[in-house]
C-alpha cells in the first residue's frame, strides 16, 4: 500500500486512528523504506524535544515570575525593556520613589484620636475594630485618585485588591499633622489597617499648613509595609478604580 | 491522542476561579512558555521578552479565558500572536538572518550537543513562521494536531501540511548541515 508522507508523519506523531495505524504497521513490516521514513520523522521529533527540553530545566527569570504574579515594574529587579512598550504606569506607583524622605513617627492606631470628639474623628472604634469615619470614610468610598482635586481634605493614593479579595486604599489626610494610612473594605465599612503620622507635617507647624500640599505624595514606611503585606497583584489603574467604585467596592 | 508532555503541567480545566490562582498557574506554565517561545524566537532573551509580553497580555484579558479552555493552549495562542505582532512590528526576520546572531546564546551545553543544538535551532529559525509554529506546538510542546490547529486558528489539514513542509525543510537543512560538519 502506498501512504502519503503526511500519513507516515501522523503515524510518527501518534495521530492515526487504529485502522490506519494497523495498515501502516503492516506496510512497515513489508517495506523497509516506509519504516525508515517513519524512523526519520520520529528521530527529528526526538531531536527537537531533546534540544528544547533543556529550557525546562532552567529556572525562569525572576522578571517573568514577577510579571505573572503582578509585582509592579518599579520593584522588579533586572527589569528589562520588553519588545513592546509597556502599559501606562499604574496609578501612583511612581510616588513611592519620593517617600524615602518621610520619617515615620509612629503607628498610632486608636490612641491618637482619644481626645477628639467621635463625630468629627476620621476613625472610630466599633465592635473592636477601627473603622474609617466622617470625611475619611466618605473619601474612601467616593473619591478617585485620578480625579481628586489638589485641595481635597483626604487624598487617595493606591487602590488595590488584598490577598483576601477586599479592596484596599491608601490615603493621606491632614488632621493634627499629616496622617497616612491604609484602609480595606469590610462589608460597608472601611477597616483601618494602619494609621501613621508623617513627620513632615510636624516639622513645620503643628497645624501642618506648609506641608499640607505634599500630603498626597507622602507615605510612611509602616503604611507601605502594610501595602506590601496585603497587596495581591498590581494596584488598580484609573479605569479599574472607577469600576470598583461603581460596584461599591464589593 | 496527544503526544508526550501534554499533561505534564498544571493545566486546570474549569478552575480559573481567581486571578491569584491564574497567576500561580501561569508561574507553573513559565517553563513551557519559555520552551515554546524559544522555538519561535532564535534569541533566548527575545524569547523571554516574548513570554513576558504574553504573560502581561494574558493577565490583562484574563476574563477572556473560557472555563472550558486549557490554560496552556490559551497562553500558547497569546504567545504566538505576540510573536506575529513583534515580527511584523520590528522586521525581525531581517535580524534573524543577521550573521552576528548566529552562534550566540546557545546555552551551556557540552560542545558536541552545542553543535547539534546550534544547527537545529538555526534550521528552525529559517522556517517560515507558520511552519515553525506548527513544529513548535506539535513536535516540541507535544500538542495534538487538533490542539495545535485550534491555537493557530486553522483547519487540521492546514496544520498537517504546514507541519509536513516544516519537517521536510528541517530534514533537508539538517542533512546539509550534518554533511558539512563531518
Is 90 exceeded by the pLDDT of residue A36?
yes
Residues B116 and B74 in one domain: no
Q: Please judge whether A83 and B19 are an interchain contact, meaning their C-beta atoms are less than 8 angstroms apart.
A: no
A-B contacts at Cβ under 8 angstroms: 122
User: What per-residue confidence (pLDDT) applies to B91?
Assistant: 61
Domain count, chain B: 2
The Cα–Cα gap between A108 and A122 comes to 13
CATH of the domain at B23: 1.10.1740.10
Q: Is the dihedral of CA A37, B37, A62, A170 positive or negative?
A: negative
Q: Is A89 on the interface with B (CB under 8 A)?
A: no
Task: Decide which of B76, B105, B134 is a domain's last residue.
Answer: B105
Contacts of B65 (CB under 8 A, 6+ apart): B16, B22, B58, B71, B74
User: Is B1 part of a structural domain of the chain?
Assistant: no
Specify whether B130 is located in the same domain as B93: no
Provide the pLDDT for residue A149: 84
CA atoms within a 13 Å half-sphere pointing along the CA-CB vector of A128: 0
Looking at chain B, the whole-number percentage of residues with pLDDT higher than 90 is: 53
Q: Contact A68/B31, CB-based, under 8 Å?
A: no
- A74 versus A1: the higher-pLDDT residue is A1
**Does residue B28 belong to the interface with chain A, where contact is any CB pair within 8 Å?**
no
B121, B139: one domain: yes
Query: In this structure, are B123 and B65 located in the same domain?
Result: no
- Residue B180 Cα, gap to closest chain A Cα (Å): 18
Closest CA to A65 of B62, B73, B30, B80: B30
> Please, how many CA atoms are within 13 Å of residue A18, restricted to the half-sphere of its CB?
0
Backbone angles phi and psi of A170, in degrees to 5: -90, 155
DSSP symbol at B154: S
Residue with cell 529559525: B125
pTM: 0.53
**pLDDT tens digits for A42-84?**
999 999 999 999 999 999 999 999 999 987 644 433 333 333 3
Tell me how far apart the alpha carbons of residues A133 and A188 are, in angstroms, rounded to a whole number: 12
| B52 and B94 together in one domain | yes
* A215 DSSP 8-state letter: G
- Same domain membership, residue B171 and residue B89: no
Residue B179: domain span: 111-182
Same domain, B22 and B82: yes
Statement to judge: residues B167 and B88 lie in one domain = no
**pLDDT level of residue A223 (50, 70, 90 thresholds):** confident
Tell me what the mean pLDDT of segment B13-33 comes to. Answer: 82
Asked, for residue B4, whether it belongs to a domain, the answer is: no
Statement to judge: residues B64 and B18 lie in one domain: yes
Q: Do B31 and A56 touch (CB under 8 A)?
A: yes
Of B84, B105, B126, the residue at which a domain comes to its end is B105
> Which residues partner with A162 through β-bridges?
A231
Residues B28 and B72 in one domain: yes
Cβ atoms of residues B30 and B73 within 8 Å = no
The verdict on residue B21 lying in a domain is yes
Whether B7 is covered by a domain: the verdict is no
Give the CATH number, domain containing residue B167: 1.10.10.10
Nearest chain B residue to A231 by CA distance is B20
Q: Does residue B90 share a domain with residue B18?
A: yes
Q: Decide which of B42 and A108 is more confident.
A: B42
| Last-in-domain residue among B105, B129, B159 | B105
What is the C-alpha separation between A57 and B30, in angstroms, rounded?
11
The larger pLDDT score, comparing residue B61 to residue B37, is at B37
Cβ <8 Å between B145 and A10: yes
Mean pLDDT of B20-45: 94
pLDDT tens, residue by residue, B123-179: 999 999 999 999 999 999 999 999 999 999 999 999 999 999 999 999 888 875 544
Residue A125: pLDDT above 80? no
Separation in Å, CA of B62 to nearest CA in chain A: 12
Confidence of residue A172 (pLDDT cuts 50, 70, 90): confident
B92 domain-assigned = yes
- Do residue A15 and residue B144 have CB atoms under 8 angstroms apart? yes
With respect to residue B139, please indicate whether it lies within any of the assigned structural domains: yes
Same domain, B79 and B143: no
Contact B38, B44 (CB under 8 A): yes
Q: Does residue B6 fall inside a structural domain?
A: no
Among partner residues A5, A51, A165, which is closest to B117 by beta-carbon distance? A51
Question: What pLDDT was estimated at residue A239?
Answer: 87
pLDDT over threshold 70, residue A186: yes
Euclidean distance between CA atoms A208 and A206, whole angstroms: 5
CA distance linking residue B42 with residue A82, whole number of Å: 16
Has residue B2 been placed in a domain? no
Amino acid at each position: 500500500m502506498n501512504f502519503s508522507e503526511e500519513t507516515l508523519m501522523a503515524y510518527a506523531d501518534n495521530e492515526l486512528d487504529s485502522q490506519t495505524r494497523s495498515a501502516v504497521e503492516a506496510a512497515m513490516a513489508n517495506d523497509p523504506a516506509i519504516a525508515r521514513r517513519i524512523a526519520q520523522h520520529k528521530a527529528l521529533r526526538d531531536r527537537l524535544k531533546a534540544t528544547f527540553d533543556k529550557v525546562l530545566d532552567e529556572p525562569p527569570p525572576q522578571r517573568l515570575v514577577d510579571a505573572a504574579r503582578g509585582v509592579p515594574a518599579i520593584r522588579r529587579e533586572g527589569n528589562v525593556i520588553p519588545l513592546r512598550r509597556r502599559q501606562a504606569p499604574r496609578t501612583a506607583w511612581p510616588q513611592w520613589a519620593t517617600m524615602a524622605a518621610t520619617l515615620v513617627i509612629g503607628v498610632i492606631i486608636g490612641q491618637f484620636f482619644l481626645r477628639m470628639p467621635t463625630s468629627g474623628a476620621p476613625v472610630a472604634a466599633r465592635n473592636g475594630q477601627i473603622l474609617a469615619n466622617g470625611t475619611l470614610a466618605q473619601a474612601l468610598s467616593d473619591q478617585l485618585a485620578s480625579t481628586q482635586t489638589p485641595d481635597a481634605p483626604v487624598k487617595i493614593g493606591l487602590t488595590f485588591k488584598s490577598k483576601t479579595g477586599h479592596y484596599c486604599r491608601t490615603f493621606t489626610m491632614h488632621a493634627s499633622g499629616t496622617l497616612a494610612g491604609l484602609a480595606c473594605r469590610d462589608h460597608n465599612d472601611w477597616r483601618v489597617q494602619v494609621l501613621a503620622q508623617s513627620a513632615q507635617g510636624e516639622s513645620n507647624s503643628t497645624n501642618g499648613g506648609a506641608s499640607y500640599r505634599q500630603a498626597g505624595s507622602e507615605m510612611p514606611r509602616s503604611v507601605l509595609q502594610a501595602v506590601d503585606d496585603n497587596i495581591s497583584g498590581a494596584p488598580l489603574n484609573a479605569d479599574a478604580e472607577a469600576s470598583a467604585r461603581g460596584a461599591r467596592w464589593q | 491522542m496527544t503526544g508526550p508532555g501534554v499533561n505534564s503541567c498544571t493545566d486546570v480545566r474549569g478552575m480559573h476561579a481567581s486571578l491569584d490562582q491564574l497567576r500561580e498557574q501561569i508561574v507553573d506554565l513559565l517553563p513551557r512558555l519559555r520552551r515554546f517561545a524559544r522555538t519561535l524566537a532564535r534569541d533566548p532573551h527575545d524569547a523571554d521578552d516574548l513570554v513576558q509580553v504574553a504573560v502581561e497580555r494574558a493577565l490583562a484579558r484574563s476574563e477572556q479565558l473560557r472555563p472550558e479552555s486549557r490554560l496552556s493552549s490559551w497562553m500558547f495562542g497569546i504567545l504566538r500572536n505576540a510573536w506575529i505582532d513583534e515580527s511584523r512590528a520590528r522586521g525581525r526576520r531581517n535580524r534573524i538572518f543577521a550573521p552576528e546572531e548566529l552562534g550566540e546564546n546557545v546555552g551551556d551545553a557540552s560542545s558536541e550537543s552545542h553543535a547539534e543544538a546550534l544547527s537545529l535551532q538555526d534550521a528552525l529559525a529559517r522556517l517560515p513562521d507558520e511552519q515553525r509554529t506548527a513544529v513548535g506546538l506539535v513536535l516540541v510542546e507535544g500538542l495534538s494536531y487538533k490542539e495545535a490547529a485550534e491555537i493557530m486558528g486553522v483547519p487540521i489539514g492546514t496544520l498537517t501540511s504546514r507541519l509536513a513542509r516544516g519537517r521536510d525543510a528541517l530534514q533537508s537543512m539538517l542533512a546539509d548541515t550534518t554533511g558539512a560538519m563531518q
